[in-house]
Amino acid sequence: MSTPSQTVGPYLSIGLTWDSGPYVVSPDAPGAVWLRGEIRDGAGEVVQDALVETWQAGPSGEFHTAGFRGFGRCPTDDDGRWAIRTLKPGALSGQAPHIAVTVFARGLLHRVYTRLYFADEPANESDPVLATVPATRRPTLIAARTGDGYRFDITLQGPDETVFFAV
């Protein structure tokens, strides 16, 4: 007899986070920006106790940059908000600067994968991965510029669902 499956959570923040997880770079690093957003479910309700992870290249477009971790992890708070402090990545292998994002949350059997692209990046027009996404759905992958970084909200289901990729 097999054990029945269950969804992730709701206690992701107990064992999967650490104090420096949201800091891909030190808070005072030159050029550092905040990536901030909310996670919402298909009904528009905030998702508490979800976990956002980011992977990215450094500003030069390389993954192995001295002093740059390239990986961030942040749980959502009671208002469904998350924040990661990082550097904007450089272009990588003919792709526009982007950050790989995964989300673990209640109701999911597996994490979901998406990409965060930057609204102020001209290379988005020629990015081969972004070009595979229907034009009407691309805005769900674009982070808006804010005063100290970028805002990237994630919707897990429904008409405004963020585009997720099968990897």
**161 located within any domain:** no
**150 located within any domain:** yes
- If you average pLDDT over residues 78-106, what whole number do you get? 94
DSSP 14: H
Q: What is the pLDDT of residue 11?
A: 53
**114 located within any domain:** yes
> Which among 134, 116, 63, 126 has a CA at the least distance from the CA of 95?
126
Number of domains in the chain: 1
**151 located within any domain:** yes
Average pLDDT, the chain: 88
pLDDT top residue among 90 and 1: 90
13 falls in which pLDDT band (50, 70, 90)?
low
Decide: 75 and 37 in contact? Cβ < 8 Å.
no
Distance (Å, whole) CA 114 – CA 100: 6
> Which among 163, 147, 35 has a CA at the least distance from the CA of 99?
35
**Within 13 Å and on the Cβ side, how many CA atoms surround 142?**
18
Q: Which two tokens stand for residue 145?
A: 């510029």
**3 located within any domain:** no
**162 located within any domain:** no
Reported as a single tens digit per residue, the pLDDT across 106-157 is 777 789 999 999 999 999 999 999 999 999 999 999 999 999 999 999 999 9
- Determine the structural domain holding residue 121 and report its residue range: 12-155
**57 located within any domain:** yes
**Domain at 105, CATH number:** 2.60.130.10
**96 located within any domain:** yes
Q: What is the pLDDT of residue 94?
A: 92
